[in-house]
Amino acid sequence: MLRNVYFKSLLDLRRPVVWWSLGLFLYAFVIVLIYPSFQDIPELNDILGDEDSLFRAFTGNVEDFASPEGFLTAEMLSFTFPLLFIVFNLWLGTSWLAGEERRGSLEVLLSHPVRRSTMLLQKFTAMVSGTAALAVVVFVGTLAGIAVVNVDISLLNVMQAYIGLTLLGVTFGALTLFVGAWTGKPSASVGVCGAVGIVGYVANTFGPIIEGLEWVRYLSPIYYFIGGDPMVNGLNLAHSGMLIGPCVVLVAAACYLFERRDLAV
């Protein structure tokens, strides 16, 4: 089992994923169930104001809050799910590399005939698998809610929106692995990735409503998840590439640094 770090990592994930899945499923399911209470209130768009209003910025700048796509974007994709998926990957990336190095358990893995870079890649693959599993659970929860209240929405676009959510989470996971491989310090991994997440959210949320700073949203990973309005338009391939590209570079750099750094084991 230890020779295959991927399966060992998945085994370690089984209990956390179960609890995360339960919470995510229930949240997605309940959000869809309460949508009918809002769909017959067209005044909601007037309350939120125009596209430059602060209230609309906090809802992901949706055009029609009363539509199912706008409501689900505002309630799930504008803040809650991106936050949870980022936190999940930040936790994994920290505990699986810098955290294991700090605890001394990394020595056990490295005592087996496996290259450091191979171990890191297998851990990253397990991270992708775990994140994708959570996205599937969210989709199933959304699907269950849609079946109950009969919401008219494109399931293909919903699925593609959650694929984008997976890419966002994994990108932050790759950043966490990179910082951990570089420094070996869990505090650095949490601090850097937490800072990137906060700055990214602020840039994507407030950039469009501050004159002269509209461009800063293009520096945010969160923009490349939600900026194309995936619930309405599906997955934006160009935006997805802006998440996948840095993710690949970060993992490659993490492998390079991890192979050459003196580890604290």
Average pLDDT over residues 242-250: 98
On whether residue 47 sits in a domain, the answer given is: no
For the cut 60, the answer to whether the pLDDT of residue 239 exceeds it is: yes
What confidence tier does 100 reach under pLDDT thresholds 50, 70, 90?
confident
In the chain, the percentage of residues whose pLDDT exceeds 90 is 72
CA distance 265 to 129: 28
- Of residues 240 and 260, more confidence is placed in 240
Task: Give the chain's mean pLDDT.
Answer: 90
- pLDDT higher than 90, residue 179: yes
Q: Is pLDDT of 196 > 60?
A: yes
Compute the distance between CA of residue 78 and CA of residue 66 in angstroms, rounded to an integer: 15
The rounded distance, in Å, linking the Cα atoms of 261 and 219 is: 30
Q: What is the pLDDT confidence band of residue 207, given thresholds at 50, 70 and 90?
A: confident
Residue 223 has pLDDT above 50, yes or no: yes
| 38 within a domain of the structure (yes/no) | no
Please state the three-class secondary structure of the chain as a single string. Answer: CCCCHHHHHHHHHHHHHHHHHHHHHHHHHHHHHHCHHHHCCCCHHHHHCCCCCHHHHHCCCCCCCCCHHHHHHHHHHCCHHHHHHHHHHHHHHHHHHHHHHHHCCHHHHHCCCCCHHHHHHHHHHHHHHHHHHHHHHHHHHHHHHHHHHCCCCCHHHHHHHHHHHHHHHHHHHHHHHHHHHHHCCHHHHHHHHHHHHHHHHHHHHHHHHCCCCHHHHHHCCCHHHHCCCHHHHCCCHHHHHHHHHHHHHHHHHHHHHHHHCCCCC
Mean pLDDT in residue range 2-16:
86
Report yes or no on 118 lying in a domain: yes
pLDDT band for position 38 (cuts 50, 70, 90): confident
pLDDT of residue 89 exceeding 70, the answer is yes
Rounded to two decimals, the pTM is 0.93
Give me the number of domains the chain comprises: 1
Q: What is the pLDDT of residue 45?
A: 64
Can you tell me which residue has the tokens 């998945």? 10
* Average pLDDT of the residues in 175-186: 94
Residue 51 lies in a domain: no
Residue 170 confidence (pLDDT) above 80: yes
- Predicted confidence (pLDDT) per residue in 102-158, tens digit: 887 777 777 777 889 999 999 999 999 999 999 999 999 999 999 999 899 999 999
50 lies in some domain: no
**pLDDT at residue 65, rounded to an integer:** 82
Instruction: Taking residues 70-87, report their average pLDDT.
Output: 94
Q: Find the domain containing 91 and state its range.
A: 5-33+65-260
Q: What is the mean pLDDT of residues 164-187?
A: 96
Residue 59 lies in a domain: no
Residue 153 lies in a domain: yes
The reply to whether 54 falls in a domain is no
